[in-house]
Amino acid sequence: MNHRHELGYAPALALTAALLSVAASSGGCTAVANAVNNADQLAQGCSEFPATISTVSLDSNTDAFVTAGANIVTLAGSMETSVFTSCANIATGLGVMDTWTAMSTLDEQTKEACSQASTAITAALNGAGDGGVSAQGECGLSVSGGECTVSAMAEANCQASCTGSASCTPPDVTADCAPGSLSVQCAGTCNVSATCEGSVSAAANCQGSCAAECSGECDGTASATVQCNGTCMGHCSGTCNGAATTGGSAGESCTGTCVGQCDAACKLAESATVHCSGTCTGTCTGDCTITATGGISCGANATCRGGCTGTATAPTCEGKLTPPACNSNANCQGSCETSAEAQATCTPPTVSLACQGSVSGQLQTLSTLLQTNMPAIITALQTQGPLVVSALGQLATTGEAIAQNTASLTGKAIACAAAATSAAANASVSVNVTVTASASVSTSAGGPGAPSP
């Protein structure tokens, strides 16, 4: 990482001396004149970065790097702004006094707003201000859908301008996408351990772990109960035909409709859905990780990610693409990969607060706030955030390589590469703030935590 900081902050005088030294070793007045011109360009900096960098004429490889830097810096800023706004909306909606607007930087504002939102969510779930009735442990965050698709064409178009790109193999989404990230319309069976991807408008067939709302049957395990709104095959804790039960391991069977917790399988009532923490057999409004031996058909309107046996059509890549085989400049290829990830098309998930029984008062307010504001937070945490982290890592590697080989660059190219590197270092800090703050808010509502490194 040291080379990256050297490129970002090296004094213009030192780089000027380096340019003149290279010119002297090359010999001739023309080389010295070019070096002086480069030094003048370097001293002028790169004020065009990032907003109007496309107007600057640079060599193709440096242009790819600087453009990638501009794309990733812009994306990091917009992602953090979205998370900050969502956290501020949640905190304000739950009656928290604004303590973040006075902060001097967006990083500080995001930390404060999300910290306040996390605390307020926990208080709402613990029943503060709502008659003292705690919902902690009875509510969880239901996340349906949400993915980012990296465009192979965007990466190919960028690489077409790299040095040596004539020998570049055209991209193929099916071949260049990691098998676990390839999503298709599957006319056959989606394999065991793969994922049927449903949505609120098009539920997927499911026999496995449902990450959203399950209809059909929800089966518990020997050590865990499941939410139920239907016929409980074991003991019911909650209400039975509207009357309160003790249930659970205390041993109360329900011959009618159980609404609450069931310590065995729950056959859900028609049109009823629950947030199933066990095995869902029926349909799922989000991702269903298949456990059925031999796989299942996801249904006509759902997609399969991670393995299809049968005819697969309409492939998309929900994650990183393997760079196409090229003999072009390796640094330029890395820059193009970064740009493609920074320009990925991301669909936000549908998020809801799934609670045992009905919600009212402060819980209803919380449910509405999370449904509106949590999608941006989950996107930063689970899909777009990891892509940005990956892209920043690639950009850092490319920047280090450029810092070690400035002899062939103009002063303007060096100045703009330095601007991109410095801005990316700052963006990396902001992305870390964004992901950490998002994880705090999500987990406080019973949702997913930070992804593994």
pLDDT digits (tens, 9 = 90+) for 161-195: 887 665 666 667 787 787 788 899 999 999 999 99
Distance between CA atoms of 75 and 141, rounded to whole angstroms? 26
Give the residue with greater pLDDT, 405 vs 289: 289
The model's pLDDT over 91-112, given as tens digits with 9 standing for 90+, comes to 999 999 999 999 999 999 999 9
In the block, tokens 């045992």 appear at 356
Token pair of 167 as six digits: 């020998």
Q: How far is CA 183 from CA 18, 146, 186, in A?
A: 50, 13, 9
Distance between CA atoms of 348 and 352, rounded to whole angstroms? 13
Instruction: Please report, for the chain, the start and end positions of each structural domain, with discontinuous segments joined by +.
Output: 41-150+325-444, 179-317
Query: What integer best gives the mean pLDDT of the chain?
Result: 81
3-class secondary structure, 40: helix
Which of 445, 198, 157 has its CA nearest to residue 304? Answer: 198
- For the ranges 151-165, 241-255, 310-324, the lowest mean pLDDT is seen at 241-255
Q: Please tell me the predicted confidence (pLDDT) of residue 243.
A: 83
Kindly report whether the global pTM for this prediction surpasses the value 0.85: no
Strand partners, 345: 149
Q: Please tell me the predicted confidence (pLDDT) of residue 282.
A: 94
Q: Please tell me the predicted confidence (pLDDT) of residue 24.
A: 46
Distance between CA atoms of 392 and 399, rounded to whole angstroms? 10
Asked whether the predicted pLDDT for residue 217 surpasses 50, the reply is yes
Which are the contacts of 102, defined by CB distance < 8 A and separation ≥ 6?
none
The model's pLDDT over 308-353, given as tens digits with 9 standing for 90+, comes to 999 999 888 887 777 666 666 778 888 988 998 888 888 888 888 8
Asked whether the predicted pLDDT for residue 363 surpasses 80, the reply is yes
Distance between CA atoms of 439 and 114, rounded to whole angstroms? 9
3-class secondary structure, 346: strand
- Conformation bin of residue 164: beta by default, left when phi > 0, alpha when psi is -120 to 50: left
Token pair of 193 as six digits: 């351990």
Distance between CA atoms of 284 and 276, rounded to whole angstroms? 9
* 381-410 mean pLDDT: 85
**Phi and psi angles of residue 195, each rounded to the nearest 5 degrees, phi first:** -130, 125
Distance between CA atoms of 316 and 325, rounded to whole angstroms? 19
- Helix intervals (H) in 226-360: 330-342
User: Is the four-CA dihedral 392, 398, 404, 409 of positive or negative sign?
Assistant: negative
